[in-house]
């Protein structure tokens, strides 16, 4: 994706959840490179603090927030801290999420609940408390992290796909709500992205290789570059959905 010009993002404020690793960390680094001020939230205090410290040392205005998006009080405090620190929010990215692959019969119910609470309820909470501050700026962007699993369901992926189908619905509803508020809503649907995600999700050995057939996966920084490209579009242009697969990924 190319754009005719680069938007000046210096001084804008982004709040990113799940910023301690993976796509969240890559987004933080990419936005820092464009002069965006960053509120970085995650449950893992030491890791998100280390990232904020590193970015500050490189000249970025960044601070870390310990927050669990499943906890309404944490989300409210996270948003309040961001607004008090920076004065508002221009870019909101509810990125926090996790996966878990298991059949319905063999699934761990507690892991299902954690995933549903994080991937769906956590997204809704972050939007509920964060979006009004984006609207207050008079313009802005919201990026939601879905997945190709939100388009296709595979064996063992029932619960995870359910969360991502839900994110798709949330994204479309938010797009309609924000259409006349000058706030763009983009649903990102990555294919195979290599990060810690696969380890946490209990992917069986050989699954990723079967999907890619020896071809390269998408890297987290590739997702971040897509986000920058969307931010570089004129404000009256909105990319509502973008599916980002590795070129060699046939299925899903």
| Strand runs labelled E in 165-220 | 183-190
Report CA torsion sign: 96, 100, 101, 102. Answer: negative
Q: What is the CA radius of gyration of the chain?
A: 17
Q: 153: which 2 tokens?
A: 């369901």
DSSP secondary structure, 72-89, as one string: HHHHHHHHHHHHHHHS--
CATH of 13-244, one of 3.40.50.2300, 3.40.367.20, 3.40.50.720, 3.30.420.40: 3.40.50.720
pLDDT digits (tens, 9 = 90+) for 14-64: 999 999 999 999 999 999 999 999 999 999 999 999 999 999 999 999 999
pLDDT digits (tens, 9 = 90+) for 92-148: 999 999 999 999 999 999 999 999 999 999 999 999 999 999 999 999 999 999 999
pLDDT reading at 219 higher than 70: yes
Distance, CA of 236 to CA of 246 (rounded, Å): 29
pLDDT digits (tens, 9 = 90+) for 69-97: 999 999 999 999 999 999 999 999 999 99
CA distance readout (Å), 146 to 22, 36, 86, 152, 198: 14, 23, 28, 12, 15
- Provide the mean pLDDT of the chain: 95
Q: Measure the CA angle with vertex 129, ends 140 and 21; round to 5°.
A: 75
Number of neighbours of residue 53 by Cβ within 10 angstroms: 13
Task: Decide: pTM greater than 0.85.
Answer: yes
Identify whether 252 is preceded by a cis peptide bond (ω within 30 of 0): yes
The β-bridge partners of 189 are: 243
Q: Which residues are the active-site residues?
A: 160
Q: 200: which 2 tokens?
A: 């946490």
Q: So what's the pLDDT on residue 199?
A: 65
Q: Which pLDDT band holds residue 1 (cuts at 50, 70, 90)?
A: very low
Q: So what's the pLDDT on residue 3?
A: 45
Q: So what's the pLDDT on residue 143?
A: 98
pLDDT reading at 185 higher than 90: yes
The β-bridge partners of 188 are: 145, 242
pLDDT reading at 196 higher than 80: no
CA distance readout (Å), 86 to 13, 40, 79, 95, 156: 7, 12, 11, 20, 43
| Strand runs labelled E in 100-233 | 140-145, 183-190
pLDDT reading at 4 higher than 60: no
């Amino acid at each position: 994706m190319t754009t005719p010009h680069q938007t000046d993002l210096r001084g804008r404020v982004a709040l990113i959840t799940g910023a301690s690793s993976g796509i969240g960390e890559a987004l933080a680094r990419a936005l820092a490179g464009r002069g965006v001020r960053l509120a970085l939230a995650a449950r893992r205090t030491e890791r998100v603090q280390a990232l904020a410290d590193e970015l500050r040392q490189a000249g970025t205005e960044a601070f870390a927030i310990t927050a669990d998006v499943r906890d309404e009080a944490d989300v409210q405090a996270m948003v309040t801290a961001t607004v008090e620190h920076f004065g508002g929010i221009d870019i909101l990215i509810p990125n926090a999420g996790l996966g878990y692959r298991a059949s319905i019969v063999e699934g761990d119910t507690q892991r299902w609940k954690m995933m549903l609470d994080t991937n769906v309820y956590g997204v809704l909470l972050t939007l509920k408390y964060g979006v009004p501050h984006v609207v207050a700026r008079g313009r802005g962007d919201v990026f939601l992290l879905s997945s190709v699993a939100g388009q296709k369901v595979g064996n063992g992926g029932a619960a995870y796909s359910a969360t991502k189908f839900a994110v798709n619905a949330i994204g479309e509803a938010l797009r309609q709500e924000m259409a006349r508020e000058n706030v763009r809503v983009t649903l990102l649907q990555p294919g195979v992205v290599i990060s810690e995600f696969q380890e946490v999700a209990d992917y069986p050995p050989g699954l990723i290789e079967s999907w890619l057939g020896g071809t390269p996966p998408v890297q987290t920084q590739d997702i971040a570059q897509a986000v920058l490209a969307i931010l570089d579009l004129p404000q009256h242009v909105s990319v509502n959905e973008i599916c980002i697969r590795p070129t060699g990924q046939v299925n899903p």
